[in-house]
Copies of this chain bind each other. A is one copy, B any other.
Amino acid sequence: MQNSIRLTSARKAILDLLQSTHKHLTAQEVHKQLKDRLPSLNLSTVYRSLEYLVDHQLISVSDMGVGSPVYATLGDQPHHHLVCQNCHQIFDLDSGFVDDLFSKIEDRYQAKVVTNHLVLFVICENCRSKNRRN
């Protein structure tokens, strides 16, 4: 991890994309979405660039249970989701709750929490009432 950042067109494009979509994208998705702008962009370059950008702390990587890791800019406000394991509906989770947890952890462990997108699996109210077992 070094301080200066070598800014190539591929990396620039990836950063731009992540900054403008405000979404979590997989490497494959990033590649697909840049095909028009940079037709020559190779998938392996996308993988290498994403790795580089994560290493240099310009983007974050997290796992939403999609199978592949997803990437997003750090600029986005930390935000968190509840995902119902039964009906797969997604709910926003009040980040106050999570901030609380994170600051407690940082106090206790002297570690900086870098997860800025937490996903918790739940059985939502709706599904609970439909299913006695939960």
Interface size on A, residues (CB 8 A): 38
A109 contacts B121, C-beta separation under 8 Å:
no
Report B-chain residues with C-beta under 8 Å of the C-beta of A104.
97
A38 at the interface (CB under 8 A from B): no
Say yes or no: B128 contacts A123, CB within 8 Å. Answer: no
Residue of B nearest to A134 (CB): B112
CB-based contact B82/A105 at 8 Å: yes
Return chain B residues, CB-CB under 8 Å to A111: 82, 84, 91, 122-125, 128
A-B pairs with lowest CB-CB distance, top 8:
A111-B122, A110-B125, A112-B123, A101-B101, A115-B121, A63-B63, A111-B124, A115-B120
